[in-house]
Structure 1
Amino acid sequence: MFFLFKWIDDLIGKGFEWYTILELMYYASAANVSMALPLSVLLSSIMTFGSLGENYELVAIKSAGISLQKAMRPLFVVILILMVSSFLFSNYMLPKANLKFGSLLYDIRNKKLSFLIKPGVFNNAIPGYAIRVDSKEEDGTLHNIMIYDHKENNGIPKVILAKEGKMEKTADGKFLVLNLKNGVQYEEQASNSGMYNPRQVFSRRRFKETAPRFDMSSFDGNKTDPNAFGNSTPMLNLKGIVRKRDSLTKQLDTIQMRTIENLKGNFKQFNVTQGYTRIKAAPAKIDDVILKSIPNGSRKQALDNATNVVANIMQHVPNWAPRQTDLTGEIIFTTVEYQRKFTLAASCILLFFIGAPLGAIIRKGGMGLPVVVAISFFLVYHIITTVAEKSAREGNLNPIVGMWMAMIVLSPLAAFLTYKATVDSALFDVNYYKQMLLKVFKKKEK
């Protein structure tokens, strides 16, 4: 549903084949396993043990001398198998699905140029051209079109303006024809010598209809190599993420070393080795205002030297700082994606030990109360995970702690619920709390 909400307007009714849309949805659904799998484990465990409790089967199991933990062992084995399967899925299948999704979406976007054209934004999808429109209708009609043609005239652009137009492809699919109406074309002739000539020819041609053709050879949907996207972190397995993180760390260390070396040259300190001279001299005291310690004849030169040093630093620091920030963010992101491979598997065990005791306590099966309880606890899990992951990406929290924050917070809850279910606690029994309130009010009346 999330995929449909995001892409339905751009995919449906745009001329794409139905099987292409289904393939895209298939690859996109793999990314939703990280949300669907923990929720399904939580809901199924609540429903299973809730049905056992509702039909008094848990009572029969306990009366036979079998504890709740022992009754959970067979399902725990199933959850362990599911945990290993989810880890293998997130490490091997999910990167390939993200890779296929990225490459297929790229091909779809480039196959239909109108898919990419957004009103008020220049589009450079066709090599050598920049296209901008003010508005676009559902049938593909474009209004107030501006085209910059950079392919000819030695880099001097040819500008075409038109009131409206419509895109069509030739029968062989090799060219895109843009039928333009009521426009004007401006063209400037290049100088023969390659230099700027103030007397060169400028031409203007008005037209009622024209149909420029654009080569579509770069839009072949079958030519994109999926490996071109393979360096993206979500499309890598554990080994690939480790290699990328090591490479980014080396780049960051190189930048920091170069920055330190360049800045060292601007700060000079002259020290005399102790014992080099036997003459004892009192150390010079430097006032808060350093200029007072400099002789009058040298103050202007000192200020000029300091200004040049600061200007040199300010010239290079703006180039180093953004790159260093980007590399730091990419390293954090690789750490987050590395830990994600394990948190998906761990969440299955955590939510099982929350769901199974909850089902045994509430003693309700079916799709009623178990669904409400499962969604409530899953929202808590999802909110903690999302907030902690965002804080980790922004650098406000350690990436490892951020990705495991939900496990850290909810593990005591899982242990508490398991204990309460073992001792047959009436944690969610409304009648139990009514009796408690009645006893409190009776004591107050006395």
Structure 2
Amino acid sequence: MVLKMLPGPIVAWLGMLMFMLVMQFLIKYLPDLVGKGLPVLAVTELIVYNLAYMLVLAVPMSVLIACLMSFGRLAESGSYAVIKGAGVSFLQLVWPVLLVGVLLTGFMGYFNNVVLPEANFRARNLWQDIRMARPGFQLKPGVFYDGLDDYRILVRDIPPESPNELIDVTIFDYTEGPRYRVDIKAQRGRLQTVAGGQMLEILLNEGEIHRLRPPGSGNDDRYERLAFRQHRMLMSLDDLSFERSDPTEGRRTDRTMRTADMQALVDSLVVDGEEARQAIETLITNLGSRPPDPNDPVRAPVQMLATDADDVSPSRASPYRALRGLDAETMESVVQFALQDARTTHTRLERSRRIISTTADSADRYRVEIHKKYSIALACLIFMLVGIPLGLRIRRGGLATAALLALGIFMFYWVTLVNGEKFADRGYIVPWLGMWAANIVMGLLGGWLAYVVTLDRGSGFSIPFLNRRPAGQA
């Protein structure tokens, strides 16, 4: 009986939430899509790819609302009291639903790990193609149109009732180069596409053509003016055509990679960081321990360069034991070499330190995304654990009650998840804690609610504005 109550609300709310998310997507990105002459298939494909992340948000939310409504209605109608009186425990009642939650969690885990990264990757590539596409051919009165190479078009007026009719048209033709620009002016014109929309035909009436020289005249200084009653121009629209790149090529980020690929990257980054740490340890261990070189006067053994102690003049005396007995020139060389060696060592240490920091940050970012894929999938089961006992406890199965509670719970969950991701990305907390904190808190809440409902404890537990009964009801 319990399983029969859930599919309807889950499907209904899933469809409603998906519709709202699609509308939000269109409202947000419609300005980027309109006016570029994009094929309907490309726009549809973009929406389909973005349905993946919408589904990730909508499924847990719809599960939560459905559980609140179904079990709230079960308690409100008194059916739960009858079931409990018949000796059916809370666990016996809900275990089939929890089994469905486990299966749904497994499906969402696969979806988040396989389908979502590929959909994000293809959506990003398609977005790049759309942003690089030029706006479609669209003339506006009083505004120069320069969307076509080698042409600039100005129209003074376009009748609203006849958008293909043009009044007072000026066209600057640069096909012969800027020096030999051709100016075409006409009182009227008409637009139409030919060759399957690949070419634009402009029929001009009652106008003139002004140009410095006609093509092939051999006289660059010759000016020509031609009057016409009708002039036909063909312009290629290839520059405005939407071109697709290969959807399977491009650089992938953490949002577009599978868990196995990210884990391989994490392992590689850990190895790089460990090599950098070993390099630092080696540098520190070998500080000042390089053996002397008899062939290098700067690194030669001191005893080979030192004179007898009696011959050491005050000017050659040094407070540093290693420099005593050296002449001034050799002493300066030794000091310069030591400074250069110190700078080189410092540079190597800083480079290794940056490598350690960079690899650790990158590895944490990938770990965050790995944990996120599975924590969001588990939210389906967590929301069932919360929604079932909460619905039985408040004994309200109305739409407004379920939607209000679900919105509050989901907002708390999402804010906790997003902030946990930010803290983990910045290194304030470990990645697993940042991504699982929301599930841990909600799981504890669900366990406490189940305890209250199972043992019929916590009679004082209530939500006043939800537990009020309408006038006339017991």
State if a TM-score over 0.5 links the two structures.
Answer: yes
The alpha-carbon distance between structure 1 residues 85 and 63, as it changes in their structure 2 partners (threshold 3 A), is same
Distance 2:237 2:346 in 1: 46
Distance 1:386 1:90 in 2: 17
- Structure 2 counterpart of 1:428, from 454, 457, 462: 462
Which residue matches 1:278? Answer: none
Which residue matches 1:147? Answer: none
Deviation track 1:210-241 (CA, whole Å, cap 9, x = no partner) reads: 9xx99989x9734x223323643322323222
Q: 1:101 aligns to what SS in structure 2?
A: helix
CA contact (8 A) 1:167 1:177 kept: no
Deviation track 1:317-355 (CA, whole Å, cap 9, x = no partner) reads: 676665554433322222122222321232111111111
User: What are the equivalent positions in structure 2 for 1:252-331 lying under 5 Å apart?
Assistant: 252-255=273-276, 263=283, 267-269=287-289, 293=320, 304-313=336-345, 324-331=356-363
Q: 1:410 Cα deviation (Å)?
A: 2.5
The alpha-carbon distance between structure 1 residues 330 and 208, as it changes in their structure 2 partners (threshold 3 A), is farther
CA contact (8 A) 1:140 1:167 kept: no
Distance 1:205 1:230 in 2: 43
Distance 2:140 2:379 in 1: 46
Distance 1:360 1:433 in 2: 12
Which residue matches 1:350? Answer: 382
Residue 339 of structure 1 pairs with residue 319 of structure 2 = no
CA contact (8 A) 2:32 2:131 kept: no
Residue 371 of structure 1 pairs with residue 393 of structure 2 = no
Deviation track 1:371-430 (CA, whole Å, cap 9, x = no partner) reads: 111111111111111111111111221112211111222222111111112233442253
> TM-score normalised to the size of structure 1?
0.64
The alpha-carbon distance between structure 1 residues 209 and 76, as it changes in their structure 2 partners (threshold 3 A), is farther
Q: 1:166 Cα deviation (Å)?
A: 1.3
CA contact (8 A) 2:70 2:391 kept: yes
Q: 1:315 Cα deviation (Å)?
A: 5.3
Residue 390 of structure 1 pairs with residue 422 of structure 2 = yes
The alpha-carbon distance between structure 1 residues 331 and 306, as it changes in their structure 2 partners (threshold 3 A), is same
Q: 2:427 aligns to what SS in structure 1?
A: coil
Distance 1:59 1:386 in 2: 39
Residue 71 of structure 1 pairs with residue 93 of structure 2 = yes
> Which amino acid in 2 is paired with 1:227?
T
Which residue matches 2:194? Answer: none
Q: 1:14 aligns to what SS in structure 2?
A: coil
Residue 167 of structure 1 pairs with residue 147 of structure 2 = yes
User: What are the equivalent positions in structure 2 for 1:80-159 lying under 5 Å apart?
Assistant: 80-110=102-132, 112-113=133-134
Q: 2:147 aligns to what SS in structure 1?
A: strand
Which residue matches 1:234? Answer: 255
- Structure 2 counterpart of 1:25, from 31, 41, 47: 47
Q: Which moved more, 1:61-70 or 1:10-19?
A: 10-19
Which is bigger in relative contact order (C-alpha 8 A, separation at least 6)?
1
Distance 1:244 1:358 in 2: 42
Percent of aligned pairs sharing the same letter: 24
Q: 1:167 aligns to what SS in structure 2?
A: coil
Q: 1:268 Cα deviation (Å)?
A: 1.6
> Which amino acid in 2 is paired with 1:91?
N
The alpha-carbon distance between structure 1 residues 270 and 258, as it changes in their structure 2 partners (threshold 3 A), is closer
Q: 1:244 Cα deviation (Å)?
A: 2.6
CA contact (8 A) 1:28 1:97 kept: yes
The alpha-carbon distance between structure 1 residues 430 and 242, as it changes in their structure 2 partners (threshold 3 A), is closer
Distance 1:328 1:140 in 2: 54
Distance 1:221 1:320 in 2: 44
CA contact (8 A) 1:140 1:166 kept: no
Bigger Rg, structure 1 or 2: 2
Distance 2:434 2:427 in 1: 10
The alpha-carbon distance between structure 1 residues 338 and 429, as it changes in their structure 2 partners (threshold 3 A), is closer
Distance 1:406 1:423 in 2: 26
- Give the gaps of 5 or more residues in structure 1: 116-137, 144-163, 169-175, 186-203, 272-290, 435-446
Residue 408 of structure 1 pairs with residue 440 of structure 2 = yes
The alpha-carbon distance between structure 1 residues 221 and 389, as it changes in their structure 2 partners (threshold 3 A), is same
Distance 1:246 1:29 in 2: 32
Which residue matches 1:55? Answer: 77
May I ask how many residue pairs the two structures share in their alignment? 343
- Give the gaps of 5 or more residues in structure 2: 1-20, 155-170, 185-234, 292-317, 469-474
